[in-house]
Amino acid sequence: MVVIGIAMLQGARHAHMAAIQRAAAELSMDIEIIELRTMEDLETHPIDALMLPGGESTVMRLRGNDAASQLLPSLYEWMRENESRPVLATCAGAILLADPQDGGEPLVDAEIDRNAFGSQADSFESSLDCGFPGVFIRAPRFGEVRDMVECTLSGEVVGVRRGNRIALTFHPELSDDSRYHRMLLEACV
Ligand code: GLN
């Protein structure tokens, strides 16, 4: 049984849960999804992998650093303990990995610029160079990338990887291709 923790700070959490369930069915894998809201949730439920959804990074920082939650510092600590721990971070989640703003080292080594694809009205769907259907919503943009390139859109990096950590600027949970959620599960075995 593989245990996947999902940060319930904000964003399309239920779409991610559905995508993880679909990926597990495709891989015939036995999984359990743990909803993480506070540091205690992580302490009491050892997880094998972490799903960090998008949303609004400012709101996620506020909620995750709130004294009652402290989820964000505990997730950073969990990730930093070992870079082979599987993590899938999307959109605002990718911003948190590239720019944790906690005084510690970034979780992926890449510059990231919030909202650099434009406002909500500039949100778009476009096929990535690998054929994946990319849904971009008030998406950030990577600048200089010093980690591995995971995927590109017309040659521009839209996904970065360090070990089993993947940071994507788009929303794979809003397409019906479960490739990235499968990668998260496959990295657990
Ligand atoms: N614009 C958001 C931010 O800066 C990210 C958007 C998203 O996650 N869809 O945090």
* 98-133 pLDDT per residue, tens: 999 999 999 999 999 999 998 888 899 999 999 999
Q: Which residue has the tokens 């799903």?
A: 51
Structural domains of the chain sorted by starting position, each given as residue range(s) with its CATH number in brackets? 2-186 (3.40.50.880)
pTM: 0.97
Atom 4 of ligand 1, residue of closest alpha carbon = 114
Q: Is 56 helix (H, G, I), strand (E, B) or coil?
A: coil
Q: Which two tokens stand for residue 175?
A: 């397409």
Task: Report pLDDT for 145.
Answer: 98
Q: DSSP code of 147? A: S
pLDDT surpassing 90 at residue 11? no
Query: Cα–Cα distance between 53 and 11 in angstroms, integer?
Result: 6
- For the chain, what is the radius of gyration of the CA atoms? 15
To test ligand 1's pocket by mutation, which of 13, 63, 88, 95 has the most ligand atoms within 8 angstroms of CB?
95
β-bridge mates for residue 113, sequence order:
141
Query: Cα–Cα distance between 9 and 6 in angstroms, integer?
Result: 9
| CB-based contact 26:63 (threshold 8 Å) | no
pLDDT band at 83 (very low <50, low <70, confident <90, very high): confident
Task: Report pLDDT for 97.
Answer: 98
Q: Could you report the per-residue pLDDT of 33-56, keeping only the tens digit for each?
A: 999 999 999 999 999 999 999 999
Residue 138 CA to ligand 1 centre (angstroms): 6
